[in-house]
Amino acid sequence: MTEMNQNLQKNYFSKHLLDWYREHKRDLPWRRSRDPYYIWVSEVMLQQTRVDTVIPYWHRFLDKFPTVQALADAPEEEVLKAWEGLGYYSRARNLQLAVREVHERYGGIVPDEKEAISSLKGVGPYTSGAVLSIAYNKPEPAVDGNVMRVLSRYFNLDDDIAKPRTRVMMEKLAQELIPEGAAGDFNQGLMELGATVCTPKSPSCLTCPVMEHCAGRIAGKEDQLPVKTKAKPPRPERRLMLLIEGTGEHAGKVLIRQRPQEGLLARMWELPHMELEANSDVKSDKKRQAKAGKWVKRKEGTDPLVYKQEDEAYHAQIQGYMATEEHIPVTASDWVMDVEHTFSHIQWQMSVYRGRIADEKAGVQGFLPFHYRWMAQEEMEKYAFPNVFIRVLDHYFDQ
């Protein structure tokens, strides 16, 4: 293609996409506001997360923390609780750190300079571009997965979008395409097209505003683009979990604990559990998958005798763990349920057992390790739990 044709193709794209967006844009709650804080919160929530999931969270979050100051002043546990179920919880912790910095250093005004906003916790190339363009209409690119898919197809680019340098290349291209004075609408249009028309599977080319000059479509390659290396399958971990029921003054309550300050699900609450065995010999991706798929969940209603030996071995394992690692003497009993939970890099395959404190005196709050608590069903609203534990707790309290 000649250079002149490339420029025509780019100009056509910019104009038609912008017109299409202004005609067809969805009525999303954060689009009814120009408040940079509202837009920032929406963009952080939208990282790795679909619009329909985000909407109710966004309303609740801004209802609870309506201003930069309100979020800056809130206890972290309340912020985490408001984020419960949304995933990637470092987003919430980093957002609050960043908002505190905006409050202290910038007088509560979200910075409108690339350098300043990019230095905030949790604000990377995408989020800085999104906030600058949408809230301040600055001509900065906002390249997310939607944008890379759209550009790969329209310009028929076979660069691997999993590579960091491809994102850098796409940012240059996306910036060139921004029409004068219309950065916010154009960037949103690019993402909107990817989300609603130029979808990952079976794109709706016939309704696409730029189909006419889409090089990927003209080459008949829209189904093969974008090129993207596959992620490694998650590593399986067999785990045992306990629902420890209180007695006496703790009757009706279960024992929960807070996770460590750093790492996976940092500072969230959970039911006590342990890894059963380290699959240290599981190296190759194929073996990883085979191992992950091999685990078969136990069905409810199966004759307990079938699993008698396994249950006894598991009881011994987790009782030993609770006594040795946690210094809580526990007796494990009935199997409750099997539950599977897949993170992006780990798959938890968990068997849940009922348990009781073996030594009643150790069940007194003062004698528990500091990160353990007795929790009644009504108190679930006070603690932020990852989804996998909410599923188990709901199952337990509902039966």
Partner DNA sequence: AATACGGGGCA
Partner DNA sequence: TGCCCAGTATT
Among 12, 106, 307, 343, binds DNA (CB under 7 A): 343
Closer to DNA by Cβ: residue 132 or 240: 132
The span from the CA of 193 to the CA of 187, in Å, is 10
Give the three-state DSSP class for 214: coil
User: Counting contacts by CB under 7 A, is residue 302 touching DNA?
Assistant: no
> Nearest distance from residue 315's CB to DNA, in Å?
27
User: Counting contacts by CB under 7 A, is residue 126 touching DNA?
Assistant: yes
User: Counting contacts by CB under 7 A, is residue 56 touching DNA?
Assistant: no
Closer to DNA by Cβ: residue 126 or 155: 126
The pair of three-digit structure tokens given for residue 207, joined into one six-digit string: 């309704």
Question: Which of the ranges 4-12, 245-253, 328-336, 338-346 carries the binding residues for DNA, by CB under 7 A?
Answer: 338-346
Question: Which of the ranges 13-21, 83-91, 246-254, 313-321 carries the binding residues for DNA, by CB under 7 A?
Answer: 83-91
Catalytic residue (choose from 3, 23, 43, 262): 43
User: Counting contacts by CB under 7 A, is residue 305 touching DNA?
Assistant: no
User: Counting contacts by CB under 7 A, is residue 86 touching DNA?
Assistant: yes
Annotated catalytic, 3?
no
CA dist list (Å): 207 to 23, 25, 196, 212, 223: 13, 14, 10, 11, 16
> Nearest distance from residue 162's CB to DNA, in Å?
8
The pair of three-digit structure tokens given for residue 336, joined into one six-digit string: 């409750």
User: Counting contacts by CB under 7 A, is residue 329 touching DNA?
Assistant: no
Residue 351 φ/ψ region, left for φ over 0, alpha for ψ in the -120 to 50 degree band, beta for the rest: beta
> Which residues in 148-178 are b (16+ Cβ under 10 Å) and which e?
bbbbbbbbbbebebeeeebbebbbebbbebb
* 19, 186 Cβ separation under 8 angstroms: no
User: Counting contacts by CB under 7 A, is residue 203 touching DNA?
Assistant: no
* 45, 58 Cβ separation under 8 angstroms: yes
Give the three-state DSSP class for 273: strand
Closer to DNA by Cβ: residue 230 or 361: 230
User: Counting contacts by CB under 7 A, is residue 124 touching DNA?
Assistant: yes
Q: Could you count the other beta carbons within 10 Å of the beta carbon of residue 356?
A: 17
Nearest to 131 by CA among 36, 55, 44, 65: 36
User: Counting contacts by CB under 7 A, is residue 33 touching DNA?
Assistant: no
Nearest to 128 by CA among 222, 252, 44, 191: 44
Among 111, 125, 203, 355, binds DNA (CB under 7 A): 125
Active site residues: 43
Q: Rule CB under 7 A: which residues touch DNA?
A: 47-50, 52-53, 85-90, 94, 121-128, 144-146, 149, 163-165, 194, 200-201, 228, 230-232, 263-266, 293, 341-346, 386-388
